[in-house]
Structure 1
Amino acid sequence: MLKIQVKKFSELNIEELYQLLQLRSEVFVVEQDCVYQDIDGKDQNALHVIGYKQNRVVAYTRIFKPGDYFNFASIGRVVVAKNERQFKYGYDIMNASINAIETNYNTTEIKISAQCYLKRFYNNLQFFEVGEAYLEDGIPHIGMLRTV
């Protein structure tokens, strides 16, 4: 079972920060073979949605209020540890992120920059494509919007 907490950057302890950066690096840099600047100076402005299993970070997103990243609220750095994906924690962490945006930012309009191969996953969460596909760090992405 996934235990999910939402924290400000200042509320993260060193171990949590280390684990979430390690998870992001494992997936976005190593697994996806993509060299990019993950530590981008935006974590300090985000709320961090962290999924724990047996006290280990296995799922994560960061969320932003409208105007911080896009004109809409946004969710980014959506990640689940490779060995935990069969449990569908992606849906759990995304639903918790959507709820956190509604609770903390009082909006239901959310924009994401999604990797194209995950369109169906995000469609299942009521996100729909806007605009054309584009390359971000060499990986095909598309803008998606949720307005429920």
Structure 2
Amino acid sequence: MPVTYHRAAAAEIAPETLYRMLWLRLRVFVVEQRAAYPELDGRDIEPGAELMWAADGDEVLSTLRILRDPAQMRIGRVATDAAARRRGIAAELMRRAVARCEERAPGLPIVLDAQSQLADWYGRFGFEISGPPFSEDDIPHVPMRRPGATT
């Protein structure tokens, strides 16, 4: 089956699909990366939050979320199933997320907190390191920012 790409608010997603998305995030962040933290932080259901995912049939391969913070858009919780990595699926999902942020809030910057080893990967989408490194759950991170378009 071809990979399909989707976007919706959490309340609009079929329960089985939402479960698969959240399970993928838990598998990647909590189990694989051994980061015991409150993965379900309440932000997925904030007004204006959107979840995006790539699927092969019912199987969720990659997921992320888009949030509207004051004066900026935020991409986070980017997770890809180990078996789906290095196939360009997450990159396509990221391109779509950047485009969606620009569509929703033209001219606003887009920010994210990247695991340090992925900073170059996010750089492919126009993100630049925007502050000092920090540790989150013993995983090195860097804040990154993609400037908004100037008019």
What band does the TM-score fall into relative to the shorter chain? over 0.9
RMSD: 1.3
| Partner of residue 36, structure 1 | 37
| Partner of residue 113, structure 2 | 113
Aligned residues: 145
Shift of 1:108: 4.9
Q: Distance in 1 between matches of 2:122 and 2:10?
A: 26
Q: Runs of 4+ in structure 1 displaced over 3 angstroms?
A: none
Indicate conservation of the 8 Å contact 2:5/2:52, yes or no: yes
- Work out whether 1:51 is the aligned partner of 2:37: no
| Partner of residue 5, structure 1 | 6
Q: Distance in 2 between matches of 1:2 and 1:61?
A: 16
| Partner of residue 16, structure 2 | 15
| Partner of residue 126, structure 1 | 126
Q: Mean Cα displacement is larger for which, 74-83 or 108-117?
A: 108-117
* Structure 1 portions without partners, runs of 5+: none
Indicate conservation of the 8 Å contact 1:6/1:100, yes or no: no
Query: What SS does the aligned partner of 1:86 have?
Result: coil
Shift of 1:6: 0.9
Q: TM-score, normalised by structure 2?
A: 0.90
The superposition leaves residues 40-67 of structure 1 with CA deviations (integer Å, 9 ceiling, x where unpaired) of 1111022001111122111100001132
Q: TM-score, normalised by structure 1?
A: 0.92
Q: Distance in 2 between matches of 1:33 and 1:14?
A: 26
State the AA in 2 paired with 1:65: R
- Work out whether 1:99 is the aligned partner of 2:99: yes
* Structure 2 portions without partners, runs of 5+: none
Shift of 1:107: 3.8
Q: Distance in 2 between matches of 1:6 and 1:108?
A: 20
Percent identical pairs in the alignment equals 29
